Structure 1
Amino acid sequence: MRRAVVVLVLAGCADSVEDTAMFDVGPVPDAMVEGADVVGLRSGLTLEVPAMLGRGTTEEVVVGGLAPNEQVNVFFSTAGVGPGPCPASMGGQCFDIVGPVQPLGTPTAGADGIARLQVPIGANVPIGTSAGVQAVAIRGLGGAQTVTSNTVVTTVTRQRTDTYNHFPPSIDLLFVIDDSCSMADEQARLANSFSSLLPVLSGFSMDYHVGVVTTDMNARDERGRLREDNSGDRWIEPSDANQAVKFAQMAEVGTDGTTDEEGFGAMIASINDFGNTYNAGFRRDDAQYAVVVVSDENEHSTFISVDDAEAFLGNQETWNGDASFTSIVTPLAGCPTGDEPGDKYLGLTNRVGGAKGSICAANYAPTLLSMSQGWWTSEPFELTRAPLDPATMDVTLDGVSVDPADWVWDDEQGTVRFTHGFAPAPGSSVRVTYFW
């Protein structure tokens, strides 16, 4: 038998527990045989109750550690957790919730030894009502082998669902490539590796710009100016044909550049010096900004520190996490064809996020793909209220829950965004349910 409680369950209207009559007890032997499908003598119960209960909703209480088909009694108290009543029917056992103790229901365990109870929460239960919950299984003659569960404290609050349509974000991807005399092979490897990124960009349905500058801040025609392909285009976008070929024409920048590589300087100059002139249209205010430096030497800008570069990238963000910096450079421990560890570049990556790869790697595709996993794959979903506990949020896509690993809650800006390569079809329905 399953006894459910009416929606006033947490309003304190049920009778308190005083004697055996309050328990529904199924046939349970005094000593239970140990085995794969049953619990042992006086084994403890486990109790799972949501930490917050949505007013006007139905919540599930789960009790484990039961024998198949065993009944269990679930109780609550709004008086708190602590020494509670010791009914005779419990054979000397006492509640760990303070009286008066009131029944929630009596579910029956399935073959897996787990009982589930659906509990409706009244629409008029005062917000902030707190209750301690405990489960009791009466076992043995006179309850001599009764077992209790852990106690769980739960609170009634308001639940809300915000609904959105998914739209993919835009991204501006800038490659900063070393054009010094030792970089011919590395440029070719980058050009060959870039094609691995194209299915990702199209799969994310992003509106993207891909451009290239060099680390040379001495040559008059460089200094942060975007490189052109053979047709004179200064960046690649989704509608372009032969994108891998266009990128190779931009990325194989030659080896006549200065040996005083200034990746930070070129990155900053591409926007601060030429963003409204030569490079106009590449950088968009509403797009993410992902920078990739490819160099076998360290950053040599005289007047630009890691702090300065971090501040610059921070200014490129409309939303937190919009900017990143990926380093394909000589590792700190060195590598066979790396001239100098790129510790400044790596330091910036550590601060703002991005991927790290070795300039000596035979293939840069793994680093580029790793980089893409850190991008946002949705525009931000701004919640209409502040959640009480983000850990209890549920995000669904077309009615199916999204793995929490695939979305991020930003407490400062009050947003949810998809990431880690989770890229739904444009226009998909997104719902965020939370307590507030």
Structure 2
Amino acid sequence: MIRHSWALLILVGIGCTKGGGGSNNFSLAPEQTGFAQELEYNNKIDVLWVIDNSPGMGDYQVKIAEQADSLINFFVERGFDFQMAATTTDMRSSGERGKFLGIPSILTPQTPGLVDLFRARIAPGNSGSGTERGLEAMKLALTPGQHTSTNGGFVRSDAALVIVFVSSEDDWSVGNSIDYIDFLNNLKPIFEFGAQGWLANYIGIIEDSTECRTLGEFSDLGYRYMDIVGASNGVNQSICSSELRTALENIRERISGMIMEYKLAREPVAETIVVTIDGVVVPNDAVNGWTYHPDRMLIRFHGSWIPKANETVKIDYQPLRAK
């Protein structure tokens, strides 16, 4: 847990005005508040990749693997305490059925040869089942007591959970999307300090386009994956890009934004919010800066302004209501 501390200053003045006949009329001056709190975010993340390994997926896997060093280096530079693991969408008796790939099955910043091992995990080949059941695989992978020799210890109680689905077709798991959303909400509820407990992202078919055909003349949109992503305010990215650098960059920034969400202690007057990082004012910008989300009273960072673990974040604002 990373903590950022800053000072509290509340100035309340009493104004005195002269009335007629020399009498004194006293009034309470407007409250001027530089409100502060101890800010904290959780730098622990557990990232599960669910990779479609059906026939025809090999080239897509290679494109993602080519961006492995950029993704890993970003997490390391930000000081994240991360775990990464991968499984496939193959739920046949001969498939992974949610079991993590490789040895070691869980990768951390301290794992020797981390980048190369991660590349191997997200490019497992294309000999898997053509009936992709990624949601079932995800649930089995994260269910306590399943595959304990490989998956045990992956879901940490104090870490945010991130799932990245990669598939060129929709999901064929049993049950409805809401069943899997409920599973994730129960597994990783919102933290006490207001941060989101889980986040799903999807790299796949996100629109019906003649430029993105993965089934001959058809596009099999990943509706069920996108349902899960939508429930967590995650990111959907097209698998048909000539190179997937932008897709991975958008996903990594959304992950960073999630674990670096700051919940304000009091409801602010939104127009008075001023955010600084190491004394530099951060612009209010949804692409490269910060945004305020009143539904949960959160400040979220974007782009190059996502703070690193050793930077000091200050948020000043006037509370909407005095306590």
Please indicate the TM-score interval, normalised by the length of the shorter structure.
0.7 to 0.9
The gaps in structure 2 that reach 5 residues or longer are 1-10, 21-25
The 8 Å contact of residues 34 and 316 in structure 2, kept in 1 or not, is answered as yes
- The match for 1:261 among 132, 138, 142 is 132
Structure-1 separation of matches of 2:298 and 2:239: 36
Deviation at 1:353, TM superposition (A): 2.1
In structure 1, the residue matched to 2:6 is none
Deviation at 1:14, TM superposition (A): 5.7
Q: Mean alpha-carbon deviation: is it higher for 313-322 or for 359-368?
A: 313-322
In structure 1, the residue matched to 2:199 is 324
Which has more radius of gyration?
A: 1
Structure-2 separation of matches of 1:185 and 1:244: 19
In structure 1, the residue matched to 2:309 is 426
Secondary structure in 1 aligned to 2:202? strand
> Identity over aligned residues, as a percent?
23
The 8 Å contact of residues 33 and 318 in structure 2, kept in 1 or not, is answered as yes
Change in CA separation of 1:181 and 1:326 when aligned onto 2, cut-off 3 Å: same
Change in CA separation of 1:170 and 1:8 when aligned onto 2, cut-off 3 Å: closer
Structure-2 separation of matches of 1:382 and 1:355: 21
Structure-1 separation of matches of 2:200 and 2:55: 24
Deviation at 1:381, TM superposition (A): 4.5
Change in CA separation of 1:242 and 1:161 when aligned onto 2, cut-off 3 Å: same
Structure-1 separation of matches of 2:114 and 2:198: 23
Residue 216 (1) aligns with residue 90 (2): yes
Secondary structure in 1 aligned to 2:305? coil
Matches of residues 324-363 of structure 1 in structure 2 within 5 Å?
324-334=199-209, 335-339=211-215, 340-363=220-243
Change in CA separation of 1:261 and 1:204 when aligned onto 2, cut-off 3 Å: same
- What TM-score do you get using the length of structure 2 for normalisation? 0.77
The 8 Å contact of residues 53 and 126 in structure 2, kept in 1 or not, is answered as yes
In structure 2, the residue matched to 1:290 is 162
Structure-2 separation of matches of 1:311 and 1:11: 55
Structure-2 separation of matches of 1:376 and 1:14: 56
User: Match for 2:313: what amino acid?
Assistant: V
Secondary structure in 2 aligned to 1:404? coil
In structure 2, the residue matched to 1:66 is none
Deviation at 1:376, TM superposition (A): 3.9
In structure 2, the residue matched to 1:193 is 67
Structure-2 separation of matches of 1:224 and 1:421: 35
User: Match for 2:314: what amino acid?
Assistant: R
Query: Counting helix residues as a fraction of each chain, which structure ranks higher?
Result: 2
- What TM-score do you get using the length of structure 1 for normalisation? 0.59
Structure-2 separation of matches of 1:276 and 1:11: 69
Matches of residues 10-409 of structure 1 in structure 2 within 5 Å?
11=15, 13=17, 126=28, 156-164=30-38, 169-220=43-94, 222-228=96-102, 232-272=103-143, 274=145, 277-278=148-149, 279-303=151-175, 305-315=176-186, 316-317=188-189, 318=191, 319-334=194-209, 335-339=211-215, 340-377=220-257, 381=262, 383-384=264-265, 386-405=266-285, 406-409=289-292
Change in CA separation of 1:366 and 1:434 when aligned onto 2, cut-off 3 Å: same
Structure with the larger RCO, 1 or 2 (CA within 8 Å, 6+ apart): 2
In structure 2, the residue matched to 1:105 is none
Deviation at 1:188, TM superposition (A): 1.7
